[in-house]
Amino acid sequence: MITPPSRSTLTQVKVLGIGCRRCRDTYALVEDVARTAGVAIALERVDDPQQFVAYGVMRSPAVVIDGRLVHAGGRPARDKVERWFHEGPTT
């Protein structure tokens, strides 16, 4: 089991996507789940294809938490996003 980041630490979250509806929905979902869970995050939209390549992303949207790719391809399920903030990110 991965230990979640300390609640006093700001979790860095990036949503990689081209701006499509799924990408916007993923951004909003991550934002809502973090707020509901009381987790302080720094949420960033990334639309630079070179950054996609740097993370090995072939399909968007993708989610990177604290530098680690945790999801790619399609909107993640809400329960999966909740686990990222309660149990720590896993792929």
| pTM for the structure as a whole | 0.85
Inside any domain, residue 63: yes
**Residue 1 within a domain:** no
46 domain-assigned? yes
State the total domains in the chain.
Answer: 1
Domain assignment present for 91: no
CATH no. for residue 25? 3.40.30.10
Among the residues of 1-91, which ranges form H helices?
21-37, 49-55, 78-86
Task: Note the pLDDT tens digit of each residue in 42-87.
Answer: 999 999 999 999 999 999 999 999 999 999 999 999 999 999 988 7
Amino acid at residue number 58: M
Residue 3 falls inside a structural domain: no
